[in-house]
Structure 1
Amino acid sequence: MALSLLDRLRARRAARAAARAVGKPQYRTVPASSVPPATPARTPSRPHRTGPIARLVNRWWNRLLQSVYEGSLSEQEAQYEEGSTTRDYLWNTVGTSVWGFTFPLLTVVATQLAGVEGAGMFSMAFVVGTLLMIASNYGIRNYQVSDIEEANSFSSYQINRWLTGIAALAVGALYCALRDYDASMTTICAGVFVYKVLDGVADVYEGRLQQADKLYLAGISQALRSVAIVAAFSVLLFVTRSLEIASAGMAIAAAATFVLVTVPLALLETEKSRPASMKEVARLFTQGFPLFCALFMFNLIESMPKFVMEGSIAYENQLYFNALYFPAQGILLATGFIYKPQLVRLASIWSNPRKRRRFDLIIGAVVGVVVIISIVCGIFLGSIGIPLMSFMYGVDFEQFRPLAYCMVAAGGVTAVIDFLYAIITVLRRQSDVIRLYLIAFAASVALPLALVNLFGLAGAVASYLAVMALLLCLLVWQYAQIRKEITRRADPFA
């Protein structure tokens, strides 16, 4: 019986493969009659090729295992370059963007899969978790990355951060007990609190990478952690429809990326730190206390309308307030993209008295950029932003259009506040702003209590904008006083 064309082709391939194996000519004619028709030869399979991501993961895993086997992460040779400004900006933008949009994405998922009330409960837990993250940070990040002479060892920074992280978790547990939350809300809070405190502790390792002029690696670490927790939360909530299980999974994902990526990356890619000193740790608590007070109070001031709403109006208003705030948060993040990668360079510019004029020009330029970003955000929100929010959340946000514009204005004000505070930290005058935050905190307690009870959600937004405007005026005045004092010291006859 004659062989088919497919059989003959298979026979020729088999013959060529056999010829190559024994070193004979590759193209030899094989009579069709000599090939058994019932056993067509098989073409040798090609080796499986892995994708670039799989290869990267495999290389990282092998490097990690080898370092653990050798007994030290910090004594290994670094493999990634430093001083890449373009890469720093790119990955810092990616990392900060993904991190900044984590909360909005989680609330959208929670709204769609658990309802408005459940999303409001989750939002409240996230607000408290963010305050715990700020407490864990202890305001040290800007201080750490501008410590260009390494007056304090990285080991001391680590001990300081772990102590503040443990204290923050303890405060979170106490808060849940004092609020007398039920088992459901307590479980949600526990998952969110663990994630946010780990976020705070991870910041010291990412700060070390920035200090070593490898900010892009910090951005990669931040992005991976944020993507992991969003994926874990979304998948678990979709499968189980349980906010408690999804929150617990989010905490586990944060812990896994922290242990497998953030900590090893910082230790492998930076110089080995000198041993920790308890004197340095104590000094960090002392030096960082004004930073902690200012940042914690600032975030408490921001959150005060939400705390007042929790005791006065339904949980769903937490969702509305946070959804309206997210465009304002975008302004804050965009401003951070611009100035945070330059903090080390700003510290260097300030250290040279002949460049102080350039320092002032940079400040003016950043404030101008914030104004432009705020205007663009307002235009976007007024055109397609509000309909887009309504689509994502499944809630009609057209009714909140005036409040949305107020939030954009508040976002611009908040971005300038954040930038001015970072500048004052570079000047090492952070203790000068404590009394200003106390004044703003007093206003943040009085105004929401009055306005929320009178006007509900609208009162919460109005009080937030008013308090932020007050704090900005106080900070501008304080910065002007600091600069005047520094100029007088440099030139007593000025």
Structure 2
Amino acid sequence: MNNKVNRSIYFWNFAGNIAAAAVSILYLIIVSRYTSASDADNFSLAYAIGNLWVVIGIFQVRNYQATDLKETYSYLEYWLTRVITVCLMLVSLFPYLFFSGNNVGKGDLFLIIILTVIYRSCDAFSDLFQGLFQQHERLDIAGKLMVLRYSLSTIILLISLLLSNSLIFSLICLCFFNVLFVFGGDYIQSKQIRTIPFNQISSATFKQSISIMKTCLPLFVNGFLLVYVLNYPKQVIDKLLVEGVLREGAQRDFSILFMPVFFMSLFVLALRPLITDLAKQWSEKRFYTFNAMIRKILLLLMILGLVVSILAYLIGVPILNIISGIDLSNYSLLLTILVLSGFLYSIASVIGDFLIILRKQVYLLYVYVAMALLTNILTPIVMREFGLFGAGLSFVIVMLFYTIASWIVFVIMRRKEIQKYESVE
């Protein structure tokens, strides 16, 4: 692949991931500016639930699919797997809404959550096609489609909200457009690389799809627990709002301050082309090059984390004030802590990708279970004592644990695999 093509892939992959990371931020800003504090709180909570439920939809198959260079499973089998997981995503939402102890099963919030999850199911289907593009080193196509879809989605949400002044109607418009785009855009483009032979679906195809789900089950559990940890502070905020401990708008304020944490993920997503390259180095037993690339990636993330955390403390809040139209002047330290947490999360996520390459991701399950227990115990206690600042304090502690524990697991597994290869040689 020549340098010109490489540059195109990296550029569009990076642009697409910026769009993906920015879109939730833009949605929140639009909703915060043009609706009430109550609607903004509802949308913030609904999007947090959507972030959790989309993990069921994608079932963390993407990285496994993208690194399946020998095509152990066919594209048809990956497609059928995604149909099954998206159905599970949608069906499993309703028991949660009806039996949850919070207010999620009542009134406008109920509809807002359902529409948000339907919208996120479109992201889950799009992720399947993006995995195909990545597997065949055409992330430039994925990036272009992401930029177009997320840009148009933002415009549609803004215009529909301005015209109707109804968040529910605006979300219906957003869902309708994304369904059309994913199946009229992503799917059509994917046919340039691989068509789906629907007439070949058989019981064997279903068995292979179940096999994919079994293989990726540890990844799914890990991903679900991770997103649960990321969104747990918002669930505690919702509970404290109901109890009157926090004021109306607290969910909105924290979501705006929390935006950089998800924005940090673009640094990880921008490295996706390198993950495929790392997989090649590992499969070809080029351990020195593999380790050198890992050192460079982690060093880059640490330098970026330090620089951006300092900038967040100095100018972060004034920028968010201008963007959101909300006074966040008392939250400079909280924002800095959350940005630092975001980079710890990014580093730990990259380490998780390293373990996927080694096919040792199952060992991260212990880390995620411990992390979920830690956040369940720590977050409510600290938040009752320190309010929103307590949410940031508990979050940075949990992310530090996540990073250190993931690195320890990776170092142990890498050493064992290299020793196993050398003993055979």
TM-score range, shorter chain: over 0.9
Shift in alpha-carbon separation, 1:365–1:372, aligned structure 2, 3 A = same
Q: How many residues align?
A: 412
Give the whole-Å Cα distance in 2 for the aligned partners of 1:210 and 1:335: 15
Amino acid at match of 1:332: S
Deviations 1:198-227 (A, max 9, x none): 101210111111112211111112222212
Say whether residues 1:428 and 2:349 are aligned partners. Answer: no
Contact 1:331 1:377 in 2 (8 A): no
Say whether residues 1:172 and 2:93 are aligned partners. Answer: yes
Deviations 1:447-480 (A, max 9, x none): 1121112221111111111111111111111011
Query: Secondary structure of 2:346's partner?
Result: helix
Q: Which runs of 5+ in 1 are unaligned?
A: 1-80
Say whether residues 1:487 and 2:410 are aligned partners. Answer: no
Contact 2:133 2:139 in 1 (8 A): yes
Say whether residues 1:307 and 2:239 are aligned partners. Answer: no
Deviation, structure 1 residue 493:
11
Say whether residues 1:121 and 2:121 are aligned partners. Answer: no
Match of 2:217 in 1: 289
Deviation, structure 1 residue 175:
2.2
Deviation, structure 1 residue 386:
1.5
Deviations 1:144-179 (A, max 9, x none): 010001010000001101110011111222222224
Contact 1:95 1:222 in 2 (8 A): yes
Contact 2:310 2:336 in 1 (8 A): no
Give the whole-Å Cα distance in 2 for the aligned partners of 1:326 and 1:372: 20
Contact 2:26 2:154 in 1 (8 A): yes
Say whether residues 1:156 and 2:156 are aligned partners. Answer: no
TM-score (structure 1 length as normaliser): 0.80
Deviations 1:385-437 (A, max 9, x none): 31111122222222000101101110110000110001101111111111111
Say whether residues 1:201 and 2:125 are aligned partners. Answer: yes
Give the whole-Å Cα distance in 2 for the aligned partners of 1:359 and 1:273: 37
Deviations 1:258-278 (A, max 9, x none): 121011111233366694522
Give the whole-Å Cα distance in 2 for the aligned partners of 1:200 and 1:319: 25
Deviation, structure 1 residue 359:
0.7
Give the whole-Å Cα distance in 1 for the aligned partners of 2:126 and 2:370: 32
Of residues 182-191 and 301-310 in structure 1, the stretch that sits farther from structure 2 once superposed is: 182-191
Match of 1:325 in 2: 258
Structure possessing the higher relative contact order (Cα contacts under 8 Å, 6 or more residues apart): 2
Shift in alpha-carbon separation, 1:458–1:229, aligned structure 2, 3 A = same
Query: Secondary structure of 1:163's partner?
Result: helix
Shift in alpha-carbon separation, 1:493–1:87, aligned structure 2, 3 A = closer
Alignment of 1:292-441 (within 5 A): 292-313=220-241, 314=247, 316-337=249-270, 339-353=271-285, 355-441=286-372
Deviation, structure 1 residue 341:
1.4
Q: Which runs of 5+ in 2 are unaligned?
A: 242-246
Q: 1:147 aligns with which of 60, 68, 93?
A: 68
Query: Secondary structure of 2:281's partner?
Result: helix
Contact 2:19 2:150 in 1 (8 A): yes
Give the whole-Å Cα distance in 2 for the aligned partners of 1:200 and 1:493: 41
Amino acid at match of 1:341: P
Alignment of 1:435-474 (within 5 A): 435-474=366-405
Query: Secondary structure of 2:264's partner?
Result: helix
Deviations 1:310-344 (A, max 9, x none): 1113452222222112223332212321x211222
Match of 2:159 in 1: 235
Give the whole-Å Cα distance in 2 for the aligned partners of 1:458 and 1:303: 15
Amino acid at match of 2:267: A
Name which one, 1 or 2, has greater alpha-carbon Rg.
1
Deviation, structure 1 residue 129:
0.5
Give the whole-Å Cα distance in 2 for the aligned partners of 1:271 and 1:161: 15
TM-score (structure 2 length as normaliser): 0.92
Deviation, structure 1 residue 307:
1.0
Shift in alpha-carbon separation, 1:492–1:150, aligned structure 2, 3 A = closer
Shift in alpha-carbon separation, 1:166–1:315, aligned structure 2, 3 A = farther
Of residues 372-381 and 432-441 in structure 1, the stretch that sits farther from structure 2 once superposed is: 372-381
Amino acid at match of 2:115: G
Query: Secondary structure of 2:73's partner?
Result: coil
Alignment of 1:180-191 (within 5 A): 180=103, 181-191=105-115
Match of 1:260 in 2: 184
Identical-pair percentage: 20
Give the whole-Å Cα distance in 2 for the aligned partners of 1:248 and 1:178: 25
Contact 1:129 1:192 in 2 (8 A): yes
Of residues 380-389 and 193-202 in structure 1, the stretch that sits farther from structure 2 once superposed is: 380-389
Amino acid at match of 1:425: I
Give the structure with the higher percent helix: 2
Shift in alpha-carbon separation, 1:240–1:493, aligned structure 2, 3 A = closer
Amino acid at match of 1:284: I
Contact 1:386 1:397 in 2 (8 A): yes
Give the whole-Å Cα distance in 2 for the aligned partners of 1:271 and 1:176: 37
Give the whole-Å Cα distance in 1 for the aligned partners of 2:418 and 2:18: 38
Match of 1:134 in 2: 55
